[in-house]
Amino acid sequence: MDPEKATELVKHGSTLLLLDVPQYTLVGIDTQVFSVGPEFKGIKMIPPGIHFVFYSSSNKDGKEFSPIVGFFIETSPSEVIVRKWNLLEERLIRVPEEEDERYAQAVKHFEFDRHLGPYSLNDYGDWKRLSNYICKDVIERIEPIGGEITVACESSLVGSIPKTTMEKALAEQLKDSKLHREVESSERNGCYYTPIPRVIKQKGISGAELTSVNLDKTYILENILMKEYDGVEERLLGELQFAFIAFLMGQSLDGFLQWKSLVSLLLGCTEAPFQTRSQLFVKFIKCIYYQLKYGIQRDQARNSDIEKESSLFLDDSWFSSDSFLHHLCKEFFLLVNEASVIDGDLLTWTRKLRELLEKTLGWEFQKKSDVYGLYFEEDDEYAPVIEMLDESN
């Protein structure tokens, strides 16, 4: 990079100062993961905005790692955020206010510059696509007390019975680690995710109406949007992205379960995508498209020990053809195929999602020759009518 440009980024970018972190500790920010060396003291040139910081301490030879701890931060231009390693608790903690100011001034005078690793701007685009709906309000509503997200504090591991292939795989990976002892001894809480009901039980309506409500989850979606998100669709999408990042980067099982619940809710709607919430579904399909694209690429690129450790939960069961995601996508694609009127952007992004899953995972949905598939000729009389809806709808 041009020296002048680098200096400009150092001055106006944010700095995360991480002091006394033991060698071999894995430290990550957003989509980037590093192994701490003897000279490491933090990361510089961080673009202002929302970021996810995570770390995992290791034993002395760097071969065994503790559960990842992560937290969200929001940085301003030229801001310095200071964390210091607490040896007794094996975790990063905040420093007293007077120390914080002293370290911030030292950073601004470049006293730590040679000990700071640069934030890779080449990876920033991926991060923005994974987090563009996460804002300060979303973080404050969901994050645990103290802000630290770690599977060691999640109640879902205690006494739970995994049901899906993936959940069984996650439990198996953790079975022989020291994680369960940490769960039992922890007094910290997990994230405050929005409760998503799997079924609706309502008095005063007929059996047929109750069946209809549970087959089409539009009613549940509308109820949650109004009750939990004050009708603001972006807050739901922000929680979807929060949960995915907590799961993929932070190895949070609760994060995975919440992501699964939200995806199941949205892909289980049959009316909302075409009538009441078309623009929400365009944004939602784009969100999971980029999430899955990044997750698949990350899984395929795991070569080093660092990548393997930071991707502990991402194994083959996540992408198996009998996963919940495959079944949900298959039903949703069929729904889109058979729609008589559909928003053009929704059709475009649904096509992109399907092609991604078919090409990268080898998933099969319907044959291309099928007139109800997502592959249409321009003059195909069986293709759905595409209606370009106004953004305000």
Per-residue pLDDT tens for 78-93? 999 999 999 888 889 9
| pLDDT band at residue 148 using 50, 70 and 90 as cut-offs | very high
Q: How far is CA 130 from CA 249, 295, 357, 361, in A?
A: 11, 10, 18, 20
The pLDDT of residue 179 is 44
Average pLDDT value for residue range 323-347:
89
Query: Is pLDDT of 379 > 50?
Result: no
Sign of the C-alpha dihedral computed for residues 382, 383, 389 and 393 taken in this order = positive
Which pLDDT value is given to residue 327?
87
Tell me the pLDDT band of 2, cut-offs 50, 70 and 90. Answer: low
Give the start-end residues of each E strand in 23-172: 26-29, 32-35, 42-46, 49-56, 69-75, 80-86, 91-94, 116-118, 149-150
SS3 97: helix
Q: Is 40 helix (H, G, I), strand (E, B) or coil?
A: coil
Mean pLDDT, rounded, for 20-30: 93
For residue 82 the two structure tokens come to 């200071």
The C-alpha atoms of residue 260 and residue 240 are separated, in whole angstroms, by 9
Domains of the chain: 3-131 (2.60.34.20), 151-387 (no CATH)
Burial class (CB in 10 A: 0-12, 13-18, 19+), 153: buried
Cα separation of 83 and 63, whole Å?
24
What's the N-to-C CA distance of the chain in angstroms?
45
> What's the whole-number mean pLDDT along residues 166-170?
57
What local confidence, expressed as pLDDT, does residue 156 receive?
53
Considering 165-174, 274-283, 334-343, the range whose residues carry the highest mean pLDDT is 274-283
Mean per-residue pLDDT for 49-74?
Answer: 87
**What contacts 24+ positions apart, CB below 8 Å, involve 389-392?**
389/278, 389/279, 389/343, 391/279
pLDDT at res. 191:
92
The pTM (predicted TM-score) of the whole model is: 0.82
Mean pLDDT of the chain: 80
Q: How confident is the model at residue 184 (pLDDT cuts 50, 70, 90)?
A: very low
Q: Tell me the sheet residues that pair with 14.
A: 46
Lowest pLDDT segment from 45-49, 52-56, 300-304, 346-350: 300-304
Report whether pLDDT(220) > 60.
yes
- Computed from CA positions of residues 89, 92, 94, 98, in that sequence, does the dihedral angle turn out positive or negative? positive
Summarised one tens digit per residue, pLDDT across range 117-132 is 999 988 899 999 999 9
Confidence grade of residue 180 (pLDDT, cut at 50, 70, 90): very low
Check whether 216 has a pLDDT greater than 90: no
Alpha helix (H) residue ranges in 65-186: 97-108, 124-131, 136-142, 165-174, 179-185
pLDDT for the residue numbered 59 = 73
Give the residue-averaged pLDDT of 231-260: 94
Residue 109 has pLDDT above 70, yes or no: yes
Q: Has residue 306 got a pLDDT over 60?
A: no
